[in-house]
Structure 1
Amino acid sequence: MIRVGITGQAGFIGQHLYNFLGTKAEQVSRSDFQRDMFDNPEALTDWVASCDVIVHIAAMNRHEDPQVIYDTNVGLVQKLIDACKSAAVTPKIIFSSSTQEEQDNLYGQSKRDGRQLLETWAQEEGGSVTSLLIPNVFGPFGKPFYNSFIATFCHLLNTGGAPEVHQDAEVSLIYVNALVAHFYAAIISEESGVVFKAIEAPYKAKVTEVLQKLEHFKTSYVEQGQVPDISQAFDIDLFNTFTSYIPKDYFPRKFVKHTDNRGAFVEIMRAGTSGQSSYSTTVPGITRGNHYHTRKVERFAVISGKASIKLRKVNTDKVYEYILDGSEPAYVDMPIWYTHNITNIGDEELITLFWINEPYDPADPDTYFESVD
């Protein structure tokens, strides 16, 4: 069992890595990091002593004064080194650097100089440092106007704003799920000493191309209720990023119900991509689910009976609840990294239709069990 700690655990990349490691409980345990530890030398010293591996992600990305960015980031590295020396430990340190090391700006310089400080420490103290040179990262839950232009575009499109392209450059991109897999590989790697790796960007796209895709998602999915074509890896990664910014009060979405003397007709699903459809019956008082997905797109449609659908983002406390009644058929889509369930709260059998964008694969189910409540 490898004891892993993550500085910047609550940040964009940090929270994704922390949650990913939660799916690897047989291989790693997590030593929780608190924001104020860098201001408390004793607490930081105790924390580094509790870790076999430290992933150093904490950093300042933006500030009106670039010198503050430089001083902050290099200062955090120095505090981490000082804590290791104080505790007389040499945990393996994985350093999150940036392709901006190669650019002439103080953020990039802070990453380069911080990496070099850690490499010197490793050489002098007999430690191990793996530095990962990371391209532009995007994914769910990024902070708009801070983490990436994609986060900003998604936020604006889902809150009535109008994204603007100031420079239509081609950008190298990596999805956060792919990035944390690289971190995990470094965590379990037996490589020692000073290691430097440049992470290849799986995607390259112009800013306008990304915006066009996101605008299409808004039109087809948000406005028309249709899942777009997400058969390509880049498209589903962008789609799962986009949907994470949709306000939670967007659901449930009522279907259009057509009724005549023969009965009723409801169109359940229209999609520009392949998937798997199924249905379940649930007796009163029974709950199904209590699991989450990290990549799958899933829809719950209640067509008969009364249901409570609950969602909770992994490692948070807030629970969202939706009440659906088959007399007014409606659906709720399950966001990734939200554990979810459905309960029959009525007096009759509950009938639910399910759609998911990929068939169930027992060898790679992308299904992790965790109670909502």
Structure 2
Amino acid sequence: MEKQKLKIGITGQAGFVGYHLYTTLSLDEQIELINFERSYFDDSEKLEDFVTSCDTIVHLAAMNRHDDPNVIYQTNIGLVKKIIAACESQKVTPHIIFSSSSQELKDNLYGKSKKEGKELFMEWSKSNGGRFTSLTIPNVFGPFGKPNYNSVVATFCHKVSRDEETKIINDGEVGLIYINELVEIFVHTIFNGINEDKSNKISTEVFIPPNHHVKVSELLRLLKKYREDYMEDGVFPNLENQFEKALFNTFRCYVPSSHYPVKYTKHVDPRGSFVEIARTQTSGQFSFSTTVPGITRGNHFHTRKAERFAVIQGKARIQLRKIGSDEIINYTLDGNEPSYVDMPIWYTHNITNIGDNELITLFWINEPYNPEDADTYFQDVEPLT
């Protein structure tokens, strides 16, 4: 008998944290994701259908910024009340996981909305026997954060990658957590809520501490070095430090698509030609492939690996598509002018020989292939229609 899948819904699934949590959970065959749209909050019937369909609801939807702080407060409290009303109307008690914020300890209306929203869910849990978990989250950084909105990291990555002016207003130390690390905590909380004895404490508060501490000036220094070494000279930094690897992977996702393809310097003499593929300050794996005309390789994505495709002979089309998006980025590379394209994490990608002759492609990836932990997920760049 096939095991029943765990049904999970995420309010705010299109947001920064929501995107990463949704796409990560979509890789788990034990899970069925229940779609959520912001409009459900204004349609009681759809919201009731949503809460009824879920074993677990991760409530991420919230307003962070507005000219009027009272609007932030009223909006966030209102969203919590609507979820509670829908659950009570349908007499269902899904495990609700609430993303609170370290701001709840500060004197502002956003923090107040988080604190009081948590208290409302705790009261619902006590009155209805539903399981509730509050995760108080520190500052989060990672790919696809909105500049001037999600974090100073997002703002600096956006500006530095475009060589725009950056200013440090307060050079204090910031405590951060990388989005992949935060998602791991959410996933653990989801499965822990299913596996634990429900007779245990039904309301749980978890305060997640930041696990990376860095001064703002040091953060900016690292990002500017990535621009100089990586964008200007094509050099990969040392990726052994976990924070710096996370920061670099984040930075790479802000590099404008117009930056690629990057042309190599081709050195020619009577013996032939020489092209330096990549200089690196870290370990990695270099490889090459030959591909006959008309054949496509790839159609997969990675969640942590840094990878480069370099065409040195023949003609190729490289395609990329961000997971969850329909937009396809196309690049044409020609071995007569050797060039490369780097693959951002969470972008499925492929390479096709579109020429009449054999295609030679060199590949570099920052970690040797491990079949037990391949970090390779197959998904067509061009979805089947």
The TM-score, its normalising length taken from structure 2, stands at 0.95
1:96 aligns with 2:99: yes
CA distance in 2 between partners of 1:276 and 1:104 (Å): 51
1:2 aligns with 2:6: yes
Query: In the alignment, which residue of structure 2 is the partner of 1:304?
Result: 313
| 1:200 CA displacement | 2.6
Query: In the alignment, which residue of structure 1 is the partner of 2:176?
Result: 173
1:266 aligns with 2:275: yes
Runs of 4+ in 1 over 2 A off after TM superposition: none
1:79 aligns with 2:82: yes
Residue-by-residue CA offset, 1:79-128 (whole Å, 9 max, x unaligned): 11111112221111000011112112111111111001001001101100
Q: Identify unmatched segments of 5+ residues in structure 1.
A: none
| 1:160 CA displacement | 3.2
Query: In the alignment, which residue of structure 2 is the partner of 1:70?
Result: 73
Query: In the alignment, which residue of structure 2 is the partner of 1:329?
Result: 338
Letter in 1 for 2:133: T
1:346 aligns with 2:346: no
Q: 1:194 aligns with which of 195, 198, 203?
A: 203
CA distance in 1 between partners of 2:324 and 2:285 (Å): 29
CA distance in 2 between partners of 1:60 and 1:163 (Å): 26
CA distance in 2 between partners of 1:364 and 1:163 (Å): 38
Query: In the alignment, which residue of structure 1 is the partner of 2:32?
Result: 29
Q: Identify unmatched segments of 5+ residues in structure 2.
A: none
Query: In the alignment, which residue of structure 2 is the partner of 1:49?
Result: 52
CA distance in 1 between partners of 2:211 and 2:108 (Å): 25
Query: In the alignment, which residue of structure 2 is the partner of 1:127?
Result: 130
CA distance in 2 between partners of 1:155 and 1:343 (Å): 31
Residue-by-residue CA offset, 1:248-272 (whole Å, 9 max, x unaligned): 1111111000112211111111112
What is the SS of the residue equivalent to 1:366? coil
CA distance in 1 between partners of 2:259 and 2:68 (Å): 38
CA distance in 2 between partners of 1:359 and 1:251 (Å): 25
What is the SS of the residue equivalent to 2:224? helix
Letter in 1 for 2:377: Y
The TM-score, its normalising length taken from structure 1, stands at 0.98
Q: Structure 2 matches for 1:308-319, cutoff 5 A? A: 308-319=317-328
Q: RMSD of the TM alignment (CA)?
A: 1.0
Corresponding residue pairs, total: 372
| 1:163 CA displacement | 1.4
1:236 aligns with 2:240: no
Q: Structure 2 matches for 1:245-264, cutoff 5 A? A: 245-264=254-273
Query: In the alignment, which residue of structure 1 is the partner of 2:159?
Result: 156
Query: In the alignment, which residue of structure 1 is the partner of 2:110?
Result: 107
CA distance in 2 between partners of 1:115 and 1:328 (Å): 58
Q: Structure 2 matches for 1:215-234, cutoff 5 A? A: 215-234=224-243
| 1:352 CA displacement | 0.7
